[in-house]
Amino acid sequence: MTELALVTDRSPDLRLPRLLGGISYYSVADLRDHERQHGPLPLWGASGRRRPGRLIDVVDASGLTGRGGAGFPTGRKMRSVASGPGAAVVVANGAEGEPASCKDRLLLTRLPHLVLDGIAVAAHAVGAREAYLCVHGQETDLLGALEHAVAQRRAAGVDPVPIQVTGIPGRYVASEQSSIVGYLNGGPAKPAFAPPRPHQRGVHGRPTLVNNVETLAHLALIARFGDRWFRGIGLPSAPGSTLVTVSGAVARPGVYEIEMGTPAGQVVMLAGGPAERPAALLVGGYFGAWLPAGTAWPVPMCHAALKAAGGAMGAGLVIVLPVSSCGLAETARVVRYLADENAGQCGPCMFGLPALADAMADLAYHGGRRRALERVASLAGLVAGRGACRHPDGAVQLVRSALRAFEADARRHDHRGPCPGVARAPLLPVPGDADWDWA
């Protein structure tokens, strides 16, 4: 239905990179670099082919889904916000909560105008009069750089609405969308009991579009090159490209742009291949799931295929666990972190997650009494689905996937005690974990 690319004075033939085209490791792309790379942001009028409703049609037709973790269709979300009462609000979520994820940070630090273009496009499409770009408040350098970029755009007159750069508390659950909305409304940055959801009543009680910054960056290119261009790569069911952060036992850890549907194993090879024989992949991050390496290798990186394989796409993380590491010990450390990061709001999460973390640590580091495994499984059942947000569910999904992917090892731990892998240096980054060298 929406056949023509709306504004294309240049339609790149290259499949990839799209978002990361022209990126420099060393410097920030300023507005001039950005426009040289992608062309100016087309000005969308109030009527005709470039009216806001038409823009949403294009986003719908593009098949873009949220790149923050949930994978919800972006066009549908925009439509529900646009149809709400009164002027809407756009919130760009750049507060990357996943400790192992770097993609949002990469976009914000190197290609801020791609994200800011996306905010402008989203604001136009949903009829917003204000927009916020939220990042972790303790990252003062980033806040300063983004404010500079916004000022540059203000001087050039590119944005239809004022964009306010806002620092939010740097906790895991603070980047949940209802937490951000709560914080922008002057409350604590903690998840809220839904409904109403942000798209119904969010910032200042207005319909609020909360999008991940990578989603918005894609929007910036879809507004330029159209939905057909976007669907030109990736899968018909999951089109376009996506950013992934590959780490763990790989030769070249980092952020890569891939076509949606690229097999997980190929993503590992893109990062230089395994540095050691891989035992399992953690796909989707700390709210994702462990998959045995052999199972994960051919699975296409998209929400549907990973879910069918027992995993999750999350925010596009792939972490390679070598055979010499212990997946249970890694999981125990992450669950401890997630337990510490609970918002202290919901009883089952407040008490259940620390108990689950204790049980997981017992299984990983002590075991041998044939009791730990059963306790982990029963606590997981008690915690799942009982919080206001998905924080406890994410932790449970990780634990359950560990028990499946490392089934034999879990039995061995439970019956005979820890495997030699627990002595290995930790692999998964956990903030505050003294053993982890963040450099």
Partner 1 sequence: MNYELRVNPIACDGYGACAELLPEIIELDPWGYPILLSASVPPGLAGHAKRAAAACPTLALLVDKAP
Q: Which residues of this chain interact with partner 1, rule CB under 8 A? A: 191-193, 345-349, 351-352, 355, 382, 386-388
Cβ closer to partner 1: 375 or 412? Answer: 375
Task: Give the nearer residue to partner 1 in terms of CB position, either 195 or 236.
Answer: 195
Other C-beta atoms lying within 10 Å of the C-beta of residue 186: 7
The C-alpha atoms of residue 394 and residue 386 are separated, in whole angstroms, by 12
Cα separation, 253 vs 236, whole angstroms? 29
Give the Cα separation of 307 and 35 in Å (integer). 38
CB of 416 to partner 1, least distance (A): 28
The DSSP secondary-structure symbol of 1 reads -
Q: At 391, is the secondary structure helix, strand, or coil?
A: helix
Comparing CB distances to partner 1, the nearer of 103 and 190 is 190
CA pair distance 229, 55, nearest whole angstrom: 15
User: Is there a contact between 70 and 302 (Cβ–Cβ < 8 Å)?
Assistant: no
CB of 388 to partner 1, least distance (A): 5
Q: Is 12 exposed, middle or buried (0-12, 13-18, 19+ CB in 10 A)?
A: middle
Q: Compare residues 253 and 352 and give the one whose CB is closer to partner 1.
A: 352
Instruction: Give Cα 230 distance to the centre of its chain.
Output: 20
What's the closest the beta carbon of residue 237 comes to partner 1, in angstroms?
A: 30
Q: In this complex, which beta carbon is closest to partner 1, that of residue 300 or of residue 352?
A: 352
305 and 234 Cβ atoms separated by less than 8 Å: no
- Pick between residue 158 and residue 382 the one whose CB is nearest to partner 1: 382
Neighbours of 233 (CB within 10 A): 18
Q: How far apart are CB 383 and partner 1 at their closest, in Å?
A: 9
Sequence length of the chain is 439
Residue (56 or 346) nearer to partner 1, CB: 346
Q: Give dist(CA 194, CA 359) in Å, integer.
A: 30
Least separation in angstroms between CB 374 and partner 1: 15
In the complex with partner 1, the residue whose CB is nearer, 332 or 353, is 353
Report the alpha-carbon angle 250-252-253, nearest 5.
Answer: 75
Provide, rounded to whole angstroms, the least separation between the CB of residue 424 and partner 1.
33
Shortest distance, CB of residue 400 to partner 1, whole angstroms? 18
By three-state DSSP, how is residue 96 classified?
coil
The token pair that represents 414 in the structure block: 């439970």
CB of 194 to partner 1, least distance (A): 10
End-to-end Cα separation, the chain, in angstroms: 50
CB of 352 to partner 1, least distance (A): 7
* Chain Cα centroid distance, residue 340: 20
Pick 162 or 347: Cβ nearer partner 1: 347
Least distance in Å: CB of 96 to partner 1? Answer: 25
315 token code pair: 């925010």
Cis before 207 (ω within 30): no
**Cβ nearer to partner 1, comparing 291 with 356:** 356
Give the residue carrying structure tokens 């994820």: 101
DSSP lists the bridge partners of residue 163 as 131
